[in-house]
Amino acid sequence: MPNIEQPQEPKQKYRLGMGYTKKALDLAIQINKVEELVSCLKNFIKEAKDNLFSTQNNAEDILVGDLLHILHKVRRKAPANEDGEEMRQKI
């Protein structure tokens, strides 16, 4: 068995975790068990937060991110000319 080096940097850990998460979600979708996977993840998150809070003296110092936030692109208006009409760039 080859010697597999464990990721050290946060970015490497995130990449590893997301790889397993994507694979698990893909399989859960294929076998129609998404709710079961989400339930497992919710339980893990709750237990991890509880563990963090119980090991720290002041729980207010711990920042735990919430669920996924989706950012939407905002379309900027084209600049207006003197008459107030939008000017379009020609490409």
- CA-nearest of 78, 50, 82 to 64 is 50
For residue 76 the two structure tokens come to 């900027």
pLDDT for the residue numbered 6: 74
Check if the beta carbon of residue 87 is closer than 8 Å to that of residue 80: yes
* pTM (predicted TM-score): 0.52
The residues spanned by each domain of the chain are 32-60
pLDDT for the residue numbered 54: 80
Distance, CA of 61 to CA of 53 (rounded, Å): 9
pLDDT one-digit tens code per residue, 6-59: 778 888 888 999 999 999 999 999 999 999 999 999 999 999 988 888 876 554
Distance, CA of 44 to CA of 51 (rounded, Å): 10
